[in-house]
Structure 1
Amino acid sequence: MLRARTFPGSLRTAHGLRRAGGGGADRGKPARFLPRGRSALAGARGRGRLRAVAVIPSAGQTGQPHPGRGPGIPGAVRFLLIELKNTEPRTQRLEDHPDRLKWNARYLAPKRLAPRGFCPLYDRATALGFPDGPVLELACGLSDQALALAEDGREVLAVDISNVALDRLRTEAAERGIGSRLTCVEADLVSWRPPAGLKFALVICVMYWEEAVFDYAWPVVADGGLIAWQGFTLDHLRYRPAQNPDWCFKADEPASRLPAGEFTVLHEEDVDEGHRVIRRMVARRNRS
């Protein structure tokens, strides 16, 4: 919940304000000032109960010296005090994440989701070939390709928000004797980041799209490695008008988000399956 109020005063008066709460580590600390042109909301967002102050000179007015307090501020000033209540915490508990609840319910349903065999995107990436090295699969679910890659001797890092799916994946890997080569990570992909310094021969993601996730995925592709992505296009909205368009590729995405000169797109196709429209893209990082 946001509450905003304005009041006149001098910079010195505003500097005397304290952060909301007034206790603990915040006791006695001055309010935060934001330069003109920067949103006060930007300074307060995600800071819990922090009060932020924006100094906004009024046009066409001149300030007067404040008796006993030195010269005034040029131009009359009003201060915007933004108080951001902590109704939306910076970090959400993973077990309460709506995506986790949704996918766990699907995997636990009587007619539950099951592995569907190799994805055509994986088949295409395999046909194109990629160098030795570990593999990263994002939004893996019950991934047959993660298991197959581990059986081929690859180290596989499989990330998904559903603990139910990952538990089944771990169990299957253990039964096949490849559990040591498959590392499962329960995470919200938007806030998760790949291990620092690690490069992957293949980064693959099937039927999941967040621009922020793609933007941290392509930098971890090794020289000569592949990034393979599949998701909905905006044409899919013909079949599912209620779907969030942010979950669909726009224009030439995802290829258009790759840095020019660093990748070569090897395969790209749009497929209308009669109930959905998807795009598959495979690109190779050029060797430096």
Structure 2
Amino acid sequence: MAHSFDRDYWEQHWHETPERTTAAPAESQPNPYVTRIIRALPPGTALDAGCGTGTETLELAASGWDVVGADTSSTALATAARNAAERTLPGSVTWVEADLVSWEPGRRFDLVMTSYAHPAMPQLAFYERIMDWVSPGGTLLIVGHAHDPAAMTGHGHHPPAEATVTAADVAALLDPAQWTITTAELQTRTVTAPDGQTATLPDAVVQATRRA
């Protein structure tokens, strides 16, 4: 079944699955690729495109980054703001309700990242769009659901086919004259559902640095 991934879709998603905001460990813990970035890079400015309830956004801010968290769902952002209010953050967070199909940040960032975001446009076109928002010398981190159904096991967390990509397809968007690719591969992570069942999920992970 095809999904529109428009604002109405995401509003319904976050209304119907409030447990994702607090109870599900897979959703409440930042993904390992972002924690790796935090260890590797000095704090700066960042954009989390399609931030949802802000797990990765807040992890960056907790490490001293000044972050813009952008998402189309006001419900998700309200939860993100509540979660932010409960934490001491050395960095700053600005929440922006935005349709990432048309929104322009009006600036560039030291880090632009997106984790499993699906706007109402083709997935690769979305990634190509956000690449323009990386400052010279800055970092791009794209984490997507990998197009590798055979690698999925466990409790049936299967994203729609139109929301999956390969790392090779994402990497092919990056002009070698403008980007240095440091990671472009299939990686896996293990998550635990609220019922205790675990699943191994395949991710397409691409990290690159824009040449200065």
The TM-score, its normalising length taken from structure 1, stands at 0.57
User: How far has the Cα of 1:268 moved from its partner?
Assistant: 2.7
Q: What does residue range 223-262 of structure 1 map to in structure 2 within 5 Å?
A: 223-236=136-149, 239=152, 243-250=159-166, 252-262=168-178
Query: What is the match of residue 77 of structure 1?
Result: none
Q: Provide structure 1 residue ranges, at least 5 long, that are not aligned to the other structure.
A: 1-91
Contact 1:162 1:186 in 2 (8 A): yes
2:135 aligned with 1:222: yes
| Structure 1 counterpart of 2:182 | 266
Residue 93 (structure 2) aligns with: 182
Aligned to 1:121: 33
Alignment pair present for 1:212 and 2:137 = no
Closer/same/farther in 2, CA of residues 260 and 241 from structure 1, 3 Å limit: same
Structure 1 113/100 Cα, relative in aligned 2: closer, same or farther at 3 Å?
farther
Matched, 1:276 2:201: yes
TM-fit CA distance, 1:202: 0.6
Residue deviations 1:12-60 (CA, integer Å, cap 9, x gap): xxxxxxxxxxxxxxxxxxxxxxxxxxxxxxxxxxxxxxxxxxxxxxxxx
Q: For structure 1, which segment, 180-189 or 162-171, has the greater mean C-alpha deviation from structure 2 after superposition?
A: 180-189
CA distance in 1, matches of 2:157, 2:116: 17
Normalising by structure 2, we get a TM-score of 0.74
Q: Give, in whole Å, the separation in 1 of the partners of 2:21 and 2:59.
A: 27
CA distance in 1, matches of 2:183, 2:149: 20
Contact 2:46 2:111 in 1 (8 A): yes
Query: Which portions of structure 1, spanning 4 or more consecutive aligned residues, are displaced by more than 6 angstroms?
Result: none
Deviation, structure 1 residue 117: 2.2
Unaligned runs of at least 5 residues, structure 2: 1-5, 190-198
Deviation at 1:108, TM superposition (A): 5.6
Percent identity, aligned pairs only, is: 24
Structure with the larger RCO, 1 or 2 (CA within 8 Å, 6+ apart): 2
SS in 1 for 2:82: helix
1-structure distance, mates of 2:83, 2:178: 37
Partner SS, residue 276 of structure 1: strand
Tell me what 1:194 maps to.
Answer: 104
What is the one-letter code of the residue matched to 1:271? Q
Of the two, which has the highest radius of gyration? Answer: 1
Q: Counterpart of 2:185 in 1: which secondary structure? A: strand
Could you tell me which residue of structure 2 aligns to residue 150 of structure 1? 61
* Maintained 8 Å contact 1:107/1:113: no
Q: Name the CA shift for 1:178/1:127 in 2 (closer, same or farther; >3 Å).
A: closer
Q: Which stretch of structure 1 is more off in the superposition, 233-242 or 160-169?
A: 233-242
